[in-house]
A and B are shown apart, each in its own frame.
Chain A
Amino acid sequence: MTRQCRNFSSFDLLMECTFSNINLFQLFKTLTEGASSDLSREPVAQLVLPREEELVIDLSNPGLICDEEPVIRNFESSCAGKMHDMETPTTNHCQAASRPISFFDPQRSALNENITIRSISETLSLSQLCDKFELFTKFLKSNSDQKLKLQKLPKKNRLNYPKYTDQVFAIALFQAKETAAQKLTPKNKTVPFKAFAAISGWMFIPRTDESLAYSCLDLDSKYHGSLVVDSEEYKEFLEMFDHVDIHKLPKTCDSFGSVPEVGLDYIQGRDKGNLTDLSAELRYVNLRLGK
């Protein structure tokens, strides 16, 4: 090279790099790594796109790589084989919950009293899982356009029309395991299948009239959406996930709650009546700006 590097045009420099076996890849990696979203138009960026984190099925049976149908364990979720139904806690439970509560720790949780526990199947064959995955894919397709779902409903009859409070907000829970079992995963199984198989439960948050603040971790990888309780879709959903746990948050709770295993913290307001009155009083006519 006879010229000073800094006087090169960028293209000249790139060509120099190419022909002098400079680590050009490293350069572009430096330039583009981690920039998957805003470089989507650039083929260069595609070279170094970070791979989507694969969720790994905990497969204990090496038979999976053969043609046999292996038994897939229920991913050993923190409370495998149990259904936590906390839909109707008593008032006392709510009043007692003045500190973070773990639904999964009976020692700490006042809300855990009188929980109904239902045993569910702990094992599921691969073919059964594949069938369920197919159903889930169909479910997502039909669920992708809520407009269609609404049109099917008897719009004129308000009494039959599902209300906001008829719904639950469902969040998928994962139990991703980074084990050597990843190698046993069939090559033809796609990332969506693995993600589906790693669903270890669902959290149902009832829609209520009360104010609620919550924070939830990892919603970028967890499916979440609405279900109208007692609808056909809801029954279909429950059948589809009868092999995993369903956790339900209480409809009413006056304080802070936490589900650490799920990464969910929530706070519900107390004085529903007062809130209603206040909301009515402080309509936008009474807006107090900047306060």
Chain B
Amino acid sequence: MIVANDQISSHISIFVIITSELFPYFAPFMDVTVSRERHIPCVSGGYSNTNPNEYANNRVNIVGSYRPFLLKTLESLDISVKQRIARLIAGTIKLMHENGDRTDIPNSYGNGEADKERCKLNLEFWISLGMEVDDPLFQFFDAEGFSFISEYFVCFHKDTQNDSKKDGDETISLKSRVLITEELSRISKVGKLMRRYCLKVGDYLPISLMIYSRKCVSAFCVRHSKVQSVFSGSPFVKHASRKLTCAILDALHDTESVQNYSKLWDNDDSFLEMLHSMKSDVNSHQCSTKFASKLPSFSKDVSNWYTKSDHRLCRRS
């Protein structure tokens, strides 16, 4: 569907105005540390799995797999501001799709397990931005991550967190500009930006809304669908060991079980304390094993340690 030029222009104008209106709200959250070595101030939202503090709450099996979780950077924003961000994202995607040669609706997922899970995650993201489930704009909300970024001197890089699967990696950008006023210049982060880029009051600061897909979401959905296939006795899983595999999966997904050694690392200090106390046990020949102070991994060492100290651990916990 191709819309008329006037309509395109007016849509873009509205989106650009919305972005400039929203800027003062998210500007205080802009941080160069988020973008690491790139030193480009930005603020991001959406799915991630890079915050270790969230692992404990999003663990899906005892060998250390995590569900992607939503960033809480903009959580403290007023709900109406978040709603406008959601509408801006969905509106931008809608605009691109209405003008392109694509006829499919972005969020029209199939019946596959992975598709259903992805839709569920998208909906969760949508609701976290204060939107209603039955809002018609949701069908265009095909976003798993977004950033507001001031794209001055973006160095050469690849968007490695994007979903690289075919048709999945589409980055959408809406470039806007914000007039720097006296009021805006008093926001410390904006002042920093102005000094860095030699801008003054009355200049324009380019701000882009970037919309991404996320690899962690896609990977989780694929894995989820495969595990569900085994659980549901899918005819595609024909291996003779299916019943046993099913039983093992069942056990591995019991994240509350005492055998879930990953959860011992949720509180590093208490676990280190426990390890030190076990060291004395080793000396007294009560437990002949070794331990490591590194992060949990399904390695031989950990298995060995786990095997021999199983009963003691249960008792202590």
Contact = CB atoms under 8 A, between A and B. Distances in A.
Interface of A: 5-6, 8-11, 13-14, 16-17, 22-23, 26-28, 30-39, 41-44, 53, 98-100, 139-140, 143-147, 149-150, 155, 158, 161, 164, 167, 169-170, 207, 209, 211-226, 228, 254-256, 258, 260, 265, 267-271, 274-275, 278-280, 282-291
B174 to A, nearest CB: 5
Contacts of B204: 209
Contacts of B218: 34
Contact of A10 (B17, B80, B257): B257
B232 to A, nearest CB: 13
A279 B179 contact: yes
Contacts of A279: 16-17, 20, 177-179
Given A30-B245, A289-B81, A289-B84, 4 more contacts: A37-B49, A220-B160, A220-B164, A256-B8
Interface of B: 2, 4-6, 8-9, 12-13, 15-17, 20-21, 23-25, 37-40, 49, 61-68, 78, 80-81, 83-84, 92, 95-96, 99-101, 151-164, 169-179, 181, 183-184, 196-198, 204, 206, 215-216, 218-220, 222-223, 226-227, 230, 239, 241, 243-245, 247-252, 254, 257, 259, 295-299, 303, 306-307, 310
A149 B257 CA distance: 53
B37 A145 contact: yes
25 contacts: A11-B303, A23-B245, A27-B241, A28-B63, A31-B223, A31-B227, A34-B219, A35-B219, A36-B219, A140-B156, A146-B39, A207-B206, A211-B12, A211-B174, A212-B173, A214-B172, A220-B215, A221-B158, A221-B164, A255-B5, A260-B101, A265-B99, A268-B12, A284-B21, A290-B80
A50 B208 CA distance: 32
A265 B172 CA distance: 9
A23 to B, nearest CB: 6
A105 to B, nearest CB: 13
A32 B242 CA distance: 17
